[in-house]
Amino acid sequence: MPTRDRSVAASSKNFRYSTNLQVAIDANSRLVVAIGLPLPGSRNDCRAFTEPGIDRACHGVPTIADGGYQGTGLLIPHRRSPGQSHLSPQQEAENAVHRRARARVEHALSRLKNWKILRDCRLKGNGVHQAMLGIARLHNLAVTR
C-alpha cells in the first residue's frame, strides 16, 4: 500500500514508499479475520506475517498462502523439486483446490484495496492501520448484508 509517512514506509521494488500490511481473510465467507500492523514495504512477506503477530491470530487454523511463505507452516502450493519434470496428479488436484480458494481471497483483498483512502495514504503514524481496520469493518458489514 503506497503511503507518504516515511516512518512506517520504505522504498520498495518500484521506488515508491509503501507499507506491508498482512490481512487474513476467510476463504469461505470472504470476511476479514485479522489485520497485522504495518511494516515497511521492503520487508519480506514471511517476516511481515510473523512480526506483527498475525500468525498468532491464525494459529491452529489451516491457513493457505502463496509460494512466498515457505517455512512459515502455512499451506502453500506444491512446487516441482529440482530435476522433477511434472507434479503428480494428486499434487495437481491439490494445487487446483488451492488456486480456487486463493482466488476468493484475492477478490476480497482487491475490494479492500479499492477504497480511495488507500490509493495514496497520507495518514501519519498509526493512521494506516486504523484506516485499514475501518475499511475491514465496512467490508465485513457489506459482505454480511
Note the pTM of the prediction, 2 decimals. Answer: 0.82
The predicted pLDDT at position 71 comes to 83
1 domain-assigned: no
The predicted pLDDT at position 77 comes to 93
Match 484495496 to its residue by C-alpha cell: 113
Q: Is 96 helix (H, G, I), strand (E, B) or coil?
A: helix
More confident: 9 or 43: 43
Provide the number of structural domains found in the chain: 1
30 domain-assigned: yes
Euclidean distance between CA atoms 123 and 68, whole angstroms: 29
Euclidean distance between CA atoms 145 and 94, whole angstroms: 32
Strand-pair partners of 35: 23
Q: Is 6 helix (H, G, I), strand (E, B) or coil?
A: coil
Rg (CA), the chain: 17
| Predicted confidence band of residue 4 (pLDDT cuts 50, 70, 90) | low
51 domain-assigned: yes
Euclidean distance between CA atoms 42 and 107, whole angstroms: 24
Domain hosting residue 24, numbered range: 10-78+86-144
